[in-house]
Structure 1
Amino acid sequence: MKVSVEDKRIREKNIPKNDRKIVSTANSMGILRIQVAKHIGVERMDSFLFQFGWEMGKADGLELMKTGQPLAQLVVDGPIKHIKSGHINGVDHRCDIEYNADGSLKTLIGRGEWFGSYEVEQHMEYFGLSEEPVCHTLAGYSSGFMSTIFNKPLIAKEITCVGAGHDSCQWMVRPEEVWGEDVKQSVKDLLDRKPILEELEYTYDNLLEQTEFITRLSSFQKGLTSEVVNGRGLQDIADKAGKTLKSPVTIENLSMETIASSGLTEEEREDLYEATVKLVPNFLVKEQNRYTLSSRKEIFELEHYNRVVVPVLVQKQLLGYCSMITGKKESGDYEAEYLYLEHLASAAALVLLNEKAAFESLGRMKGSYLEQVLNEEIPKAELLKRGKFIDIDFSQPYRLVAVDYDNEKETLEEEFNFQERLLDLTYQYYRNRGQQVLTGYKDDKLIIMLFDPERMDEIMDDYTSYIGQYLKHMNFHMGISGVRQDIENAVKGYEEARIALRLAIRKDRLYYDELGVVGVLINSNNVESIQMLAQDQLKSLYDIENHKSHELFETLYCFLGNGGNLKNTANDLSLSMSGLRHRIQRIEDLLEKDLRDPEVSNNLLLIMKALIVLKDIKL
């Protein structure tokens, strides 16, 4: 069978170009909705549908305005036209309008309810119940229509929605500036959002830029790592960083003093430090007369430039800072600088960690040498030979210092960590001074063997100040030996330091040379003779178990130590003059001696010092 079909064109004449109507079912709009979500994502779908509705509302608004009807009538006709589009089955609405004296719109509030929203039906069909209102096209239509007829940005916002589980779809129209932050997006944001293609191009450009940045950052990190692996120091990695970043960089200690830098002259480094210290109240913390920053990354705005600062942390301990000098940015975004500096800080931390390990290793080695010296385990000739390996000349004169300190650590672990910290700081201090020294512990006392010991008071004052910066509330007592010339006499030097420390009761420092005959007497090791002499001369004051006797012993020792000066003794013991006189009289009665007799007072003081050193009496 043969069939022929002839195609004839049927035309509808006289249809205006822009008035063509396209009939579409609600289901087709639902399909469009799901395809939009599939291709541009649910997050962007609300903007697309709002714009879609806006354009339809704008077109209908322009069409109705051609009729010349007053605004009030247009407000009535708009929802009717919206119903004819098939988007809704019905609407209840009310609009309150207020005008200025010149006839311009002052304020507008519209509210109402949509019935039979096609968007609710289709969203529920394809996406299910939503957490937020879903009538984006309806809101866009109302916003576009009202904004067009009033020539002012007006936003319709859906307050409740059946698609979000509410009983009805209620909405409100208000000027954009009145809504403020109550609307998810402004009209400008919704209408000016870039097309997805442009956004993809923008995203690609950003990804490309980020990839290039990550490549540069990785290359920067490799360069710094190479410097560290090859044993370079802080100055080398600062030079490497400055050359790569083309910006001045610095590495500072906790006091913000530059220890390595690149791209700065000596004068510029001094100016930078002065500018930093000048602004101490703004961003520095002062502790124990030492200025430190926090252990977080910071950016500080100075007069002519900004300083980006990142901490250098080694084993959770803050050791210093890395900073970059950069121009001021309007955006305030310094994330790239932070990332570069964090890599520099990591490299600096590795260098410092290596130095710390070498430092601790050498410190322990020197501590071991000190122990061997004091135990007389190594012959002098061997010591002189080994000294070259630890940069110590054992042929130099030296002093030994025995250091005691107040320590209230509760656990053995805390005590051990504290001793290790004190030992490290001590060795670090003398190393920074370029002073040859051996350090270690013996009988729970810190022992320092100081070679070429000139200006001892100046050195000890500076040492205690340095330790106080890191270990708060430290009270030191030191016993210092006489100058020894021969390393074979180190044991005697240690004994002298120990004796002097024992007698440093009301002084933070005592030299063995100040003891005179006391030191000689005790070194005789005639312990029994001293004890017998004390019992004969001190009588009941030597009864250390008796509290009253101990109190009188302390009073007598302080009185004799002050050369018989009542005022100084009263101040030291926190006694009244009458109370002190009463005690002195009682002591003279007990001892049957005149304490104003120089020979008597000198003999008693000598015996009492000997007892203190022998630990028979503890003050």
Structure 2
Amino acid sequence: MKISIEDKTIEKVHRVEHNRRLKLTPNSMGILRLQVAKHIGIERMDSFLFQFGWEMGVADGKELLKSDKSPEQLVIDGPIEHIASGHISGIDHRCDIEYYEDGSFKTLIGRGEWFDSYEVEQHTNYFGKSTVPVCYTLAGYSSGLMSTIFKKPLIAKEITCAAAGDDTCQWIVKPQEDWGDDVKQNAVDLLGRKPIVKELEYTYDSLLEQTKFITSLSNFQKKLTNEVVNGRTLKDVVKVAGKLIGMPLTIENLSMETIACSGISDEKIEKIREDMMEEVPEFLVKDQSEYIISSGEKVYVFEEYDRIVVPVIVQKQLLGYCTMIEKKRKEEGYDEEYLYLEHLASAAALILLSEKAVFESLGRLKGSYLDQVLSNEFSPAELVKRGKYIGVDFTQSYRVVAVNYKKQFKSLEDEFNFQEKLLDLSYQYYRRKGKQALTGFKDDKFIMLIFESYYIDNILDDYIKYIHEYLGCTSLQVGISSHMENIKDAIKGFDEACIALRLTVRKNRLSYDELGIVGLLINSNNMESIQLLAEKELKGLYVSKDEKKHELFETLYYFLGNGGNLKNTALDLSLSMSGLRHRVQRIEDILQKDLRDPEVSNSLLLIMKALIVLKDIKIS
């Protein structure tokens, strides 16, 4: 059953042109509106006035229900009461009501227009023109009245408003559930807001929590600062931080190796590292220049935990990470955790900056000392004495290592920065491994004097891997001296390392011990004799500057180095078998020798290796 009500006589019968009857004057209501906006904010004024109107509508609705009139008649009488309040001078109201078959109320939709709204007048007087409807009290009154009459939440919403520049103030009323998601600036939203007192209580509680957190954070920062000022290590600082916040913490380098930790076992650390390497491989930054500071902190989400990461940056260089391991939780956001980690990262950066300054100072001092050892400027006794000041003990045996690096540089500054990084990383590497070493540059070669070097291959394998990881794809050629027993042998060791380095043609690493008689021949200082012998035995291949002849010289070297194996030589030179056979035949014709004769091949190979060292003949 559906009943339609339309009554336009209300406006004509009850409209009062000049003498509205209000319990308060319109101006008083305007002052109230102004004070509400002043004390609780204009953004909350709508809620206050809507609820004010709602309570008035509920009160009038209860009075109307005391009569024996039907709901349809009460819908007509309600607007009469509203006009009598003085809030409006008239109303145009149309309403459709539906009932179930048993006569119970089903739903309602009403629409209409308010005339001469006092709220339009007062709002524009005090606040000027609005961008949204402002008749909050009227909407609240209609909502409260209709909801009371039909005993069901019926919400009125103003659609157009004269205060917002519209011609009239039009409205719609319908059940609360029918509004759906359209709650912005409507009665459902306004009625559902918390009272200001409740919001103030919540705000106070939030401020109290924030005050406690800020106090805790300040105390955290103060204690970490004290640890740094008192010269504590990174491990000490992390332990203090872990106790203060009660969470597992780690500080890691760029290789994700844990430098310091608190509240977490070694097994758990290894498991977390494996998770990161498997799920987030880009976490590992191999080149510090690739790091973008703006990327900032991050959260890495795993099945059983979340990992919060904040970078440790010193002088615009990424040196490591501070991380916190947090159990899975429903709520999102780690703002407080970030703040704790940022303070820890700052403390770690100060410690690392101090250590970096010490490293660089001591590293340069050791580099200068290495140069003194290899220059023969001071007596062995004086050098030993100087070494004691920087912790260098020459009572141990050692080896000298000479390194060449193949890398293209855009400028001299670029090369200088690379050398600085290489020195710094090398010093840090040997210090972390607990090995005594001197590092520096001499004659455009990177030199390392490594003590206790009986497992030199293992040491260098790990070292080269470390350098590749941090400095990118850099090809290193390494020459290694034999064992030296005292400081007087350092220059000899340097010469041996350089000789071995010159012969790193077919492989990137060569020890002087592997040279055998070649090393003895070169150290005999018979340079002139070697050159005369080369001219005699190699003939035109040695003295000629012809590029084709150099190709034959290079082919001969690889052929002899491979023991006459054509297949391996062809692979080394990227030649076809037929092309290689042609070259070998031509070489034999020039030299008038049988290259498959062991005595001939060994003699020629020995001479060629000596030439490579002494005459700077390059074999690619």
Task: Please confirm whether the aligned pair reaches a TM-score higher than 0.5, indicating the same fold.
Answer: yes
Secondary structure, in 3 states, of the residue corresponding to 2:479? strand
**Match of 1:570?**
570
**Match of 2:297?**
296
Cα distance, 1:287–1:311 mapped onto 2, change above 3 Å:
closer
Distance 2:388 2:76 in 1: 103
- 1:430 positional shift: 1.3
**Match of 1:469?**
469
**Match of 1:38?**
38
C-alpha contact 1:482 1:493 (8 A) present in aligned 2: yes
Distance 1:434 1:341 in 2: 30
Alignment of 1:141-180 (within 5 A): 141-180=141-180
- 1:462 positional shift: 1.3
C-alpha contact 1:297 1:311 (8 A) present in aligned 2: no
**Match of 2:444?**
444
Cα distance, 1:436–1:48 mapped onto 2, change above 3 Å:
same
C-alpha contact 1:482 1:513 (8 A) present in aligned 2: yes
Distance 1:539 1:341 in 2: 72
Distance 1:59 1:335 in 2: 48
Secondary structure, in 3 states, of the residue corresponding to 2:122? helix
**Match of 1:488?**
488
**Match of 2:500?**
500
C-alpha contact 1:288 1:468 (8 A) present in aligned 2: no
Cα distance, 1:143–1:272 mapped onto 2, change above 3 Å:
farther
**Match of 1:137?**
137
**Match of 1:270?**
267
C-alpha contact 2:366 2:439 (8 A) present in aligned 1: yes
| Residue 395, structure 1, aligned to residue 392, structure 2 | no
Deviations 1:458-509 (A, max 9, x none): 1111111222222222322111112222322322222221221122122110
Distance 1:346 1:98 in 2: 69
- 1:369 positional shift: 0.8
Distance 1:338 1:260 in 2: 18
C-alpha contact 2:286 2:471 (8 A) present in aligned 1: no
**Match of 2:509?**
509
Q: One-letter code of the match for 1:553?
A: F
The percent identity for this pair of structures is: 65
Deviations 1:8-56 (A, max 9, x none): xxxxxxxxxxxxx853332221111111112222122111112112222
**Match of 2:5?**
none
Alignment of 1:314-333 (within 5 A): 314-324=314-324, 330-332=330-332
- 1:165 positional shift: 3.6
C-alpha contact 1:544 1:617 (8 A) present in aligned 2: no
Distance 1:103 1:278 in 2: 67
Q: One-letter code of the match for 1:241?
A: A
Deviations 1:146-188 (A, max 9, x none): 4434444444333443323444444444544454443236767
- 1:356 positional shift: 1.8
- 1:367 positional shift: 0.9
Q: One-letter code of the match for 2:126?
A: Y
Deviations 1:56-109 (A, max 9, x none): 233334444445555555555544544443333444555566667777777665
Cα distance, 1:139–1:513 mapped onto 2, change above 3 Å:
same
**Match of 1:357?**
357
Distance 2:226 2:385 in 1: 37
Distance 1:548 1:79 in 2: 112
Deviations 1:188-232 (A, max 9, x none): 763454444454454344334433332232222111111111111
Which residues of structure 2 form unaligned runs of 5+? 1-20
**Match of 1:599?**
599
**Match of 2:587?**
587
**Match of 1:428?**
428
Distance 1:442 1:342 in 2: 42
TM-score, length basis structure 2: 0.85
**Match of 1:369?**
369
Secondary structure, in 3 states, of the residue corresponding to 2:53? helix
- 1:330 positional shift: 4.9
C-alpha contact 1:93 1:113 (8 A) present in aligned 2: yes
C-alpha contact 2:557 2:605 (8 A) present in aligned 1: yes
**Match of 1:224?**
224
Q: One-letter code of the match for 1:617?
A: K
- 1:562 positional shift: 0.6
Bigger shift: residues 310-319 or 177-186? 177-186
Distance 2:315 2:108 in 1: 64
| Residue 615, structure 1, aligned to residue 612, structure 2 | no
Secondary structure, in 3 states, of the residue corresponding to 2:54? helix
Secondary structure, in 3 states, of the residue corresponding to 2:133? coil
Bigger shift: residues 250-259 or 460-469? 250-259
Secondary structure, in 3 states, of the residue corresponding to 2:132? coil
Distance 1:589 1:75 in 2: 123
Alignment of 1:301-312 (within 5 A): 303=304, 308-312=308-312
Deviations 1:405-426 (A, max 9, x none): 2212323333222222222111
Q: State the number of aligned residues.
A: 593
Q: One-letter code of the match for 1:271?
A: K
Cα distance, 1:125–1:581 mapped onto 2, change above 3 Å:
same
Q: One-letter code of the match for 2:270?
A: Y
TM-score, length basis structure 1: 0.85
C-alpha contact 1:258 1:269 (8 A) present in aligned 2: no
Q: One-letter code of the match for 2:553?
A: F
Alignment of 1:93-242 (within 5 A): 94-95=94-95, 110-184=110-184, 190-191=190-191, 193-242=193-242
C-alpha contact 1:157 1:183 (8 A) present in aligned 2: no
Cα distance, 1:215–1:558 mapped onto 2, change above 3 Å:
same
- 1:326 positional shift: 5.6
